[in-house]
Amino acid sequence: MYRVTLGKYAAITLLSAIYADPDAPRLARKWRKWNEFYLRYSDPQAAKLVRRTGAAGRSYDAIAASSHKA
């Protein structure tokens, strides 16, 4: 068995690519966790309420960058 360790922003990029196809097979529990994270950090109105230099700001930026690639 293999184990992959990624940093937060690399994981955001990878998960955006993995879950880009809504018809692809997925583990429901893992997808729900990703979807909750994605919805929390993809709201442009909420992004205005956080410091852009903080961890939450970088998460919003990573989600925005990964969704532009898809």
Region 39-48 average pLDDT: 74
pLDDT band at residue 36, thresholds of 50, 70 and 90? confident
Rg over CA atoms, the chain = 13
User: Is the CB of residue 42 less than 8 Å from the CB of residue 63?
Assistant: yes
Residue recorded with tokens 């960058």: 65
Q: Considering the entire predicted model, what is its pTM?
A: 0.63
60 located within any domain: yes
Note the pLDDT of residue 70. 47
3 located within any domain: no
Rounded Cα distance between 40 and 57, Å, is 12
- At 27, is the secondary structure helix, strand, or coil? coil
How does the average pLDDT of the chain come out, rounded?
Answer: 81
Q: What is the tens place of the pLDDT at every residue in 7-33?
A: 888 888 898 898 989 898 999 999 999
Question: How many structural domains compose the chain?
Answer: 1
pLDDT at 50 over 70: no
2 located within any domain: no
Phi, psi of 58 (to 5 degrees): -65, -30
